[in-house]
Amino acid sequence: MNTENNPDENVKINCMHCIHYANTWNVKFPRSCRYFGFKCAQMPSAVVYESSGERCGYFADKRRKR
């Protein structure tokens, strides 16, 4: 992979800043991704990376830009 074109390639995705991230009441699976429709114990972006080998392409920052 060429990281010169995309400097954010090595930065971890923080799902807590994504519009698709949600907390659940399930103690075993406290995190979820509404876009993909799954619950998990670890960060959803880590699950996406482990299962597909690619970074999550649907991250949408919910923080207000200044």
pTM, to two decimals: 0.77
Express each pLDDT in 11-49 by its tens digit: 789 999 999 999 999 999 999 999 999 999 999 999 999
Residue-range domain boundaries for the chain: 20-59
- CB proximity list for 3: less than 8 A, separation 6 or greater: 9, 10
